[in-house]
Amino acid sequence: MGCKRPQRRRGSHGSTAWRLAGPSWSPPSTLFKCRQHRKGRLRMSLCANRRYPARLATGRRNMKIAAWVLAGVLLVSAGLYGAWRAGTTVGEKMHRQRAAQASSPSARAGTPADAAALLAPYEQALSQTTRPVMHVRLQALDTDDALVSKVGGQVWWPRAQALPVDEHGRPLTLLAQVNFAELPEPLPGYPDQGLLQFFIATEDDFYGARLDSMDSRRAQRNFRVVYWPDLGLPARTLPAVQGDQLPMDPSRPQRMHFVAGAERMSVADHRFDQHTGQDLDGLTEAYAAAHGIDADSLFQAVLDLHDGGGHKLGGYPSFTQEDPRRDGDDELLLQLDSDDVLMWGDSGVANFFIRPADLARRDFSRVAYNWDCY
């Protein structure tokens, strides 16, 4: 009995299956093993190889060529992989070194004492960076007040002034404000009275910030920083502006309580390396290797000592990524960190920077707004 012609049909997932128009069927590969394909013009059988030896030789030669080509492809692939491995970045090497240290039973965890010992040679240089700071503690405000220092809530706004809006004309929401008369003591360089307000966009993926450069961070299109030295102006109280993309709930204002203090330059500040002569990562790697300490835990111990985190007015900034200031003389004006009240992306931190000359003139029109997160 002759073989049947195979016909193609579409499988349940778009694949091709085979069926035969008749009861006797074998897979397509057996078409070349059947004795006779009667209705075709070509007779395809195993004996065809004996009838046409030249065709058999050609097939074998093609198989050899294909094998050599495959071997060449494998060799090239192996070479490319070796070149890629040879070009491993320094960061990957450091990561492997840290992993090896972490898995080594002889490497102990870094402690605050180790962090202090690491920075001891630079004590004099770092102590000279100490500056005043006002740490901020937040507490829920039971009854909103438009004139107190706070995060969120109602807005005090002069009647004669246009309302703060974003580049699309939508109202901005009050992120925070500082009434300088409430500070427990004067903060050098800052006003001793008046109200400083920070507004951000309500419908913006980046909370109103533009993070391309320091110039874009200063362009107050979707945020505003305004200062009112005279709170005796005719004013009105505006309700809190809600939004779907905000780091806090404006309807739940938080009162600011200030604690005066002082702090040294944070390790996140781009100028920190100038006082140690090298970057902190390399410094901790070398010290950890010399003293049998896990480098990651030592790095964390140093961060815990000089992280620069938390809510504060003045002082030095903290970052989860890197300091965007690479030149110029911008200093920290206000910092708002992530906690149970504020959440900047994935546990990030927001900073507002100002040039000392602008602060002395009470010019807040060029304040730079930055935030980053993990």
What is the rounded CA–CA span in Å between residue 180 and residue 196? Answer: 8
Phi, psi of 77 (to 5 degrees): -60, -40
What is the rounded CA–CA span in Å between residue 276 and residue 295? Answer: 17
**pLDDT per residue as tens, the chain (374 positions):** 444 333 333 333 333 333 333 443 334 333 333 333 333 333 333 333 333 344 444 555 666 677 777 777 777 666 666 655 554 444 454 454 555 554 455 789 999 999 999 999 999 999 999 999 999 999 999 999 999 999 999 999 999 999 999 999 999 999 999 999 999 999 999 999 999 999 999 999 999 999 999 999 999 999 999 999 999 999 999 999 999 899 999 999 999 999 999 999 999 999 999 999 988 889 999 999 999 999 999 999 999 988 999 999 999 999 999 999 988 899 999 999 999 999 999 999 999 999 999 999 999 999 999 999 99
- Per-residue DSSP letter, 315: S
Q: Which residues pair with 354 in a beta bridge?
A: 331
Nearest to 54 by CA among 62, 45, 64, 43: 62
Tokens of 106: 């002889």
- Mapped onto helix, strand or coil, the DSSP state of residue 140 is strand
pTM over 0.75: no
What is the rounded CA–CA span in Å between residue 318 and residue 303? Answer: 10
What is the rounded CA–CA span in Å between residue 255 and residue 146? Answer: 11
For the residues of 118-163, what is the DSSP string, one character each? HHGGGHHHHHTT-EEEEEEEEEE-SS--TTSSEESS-EEEETTSPP
Q: Which residues pair with 170 in a beta bridge?
A: none
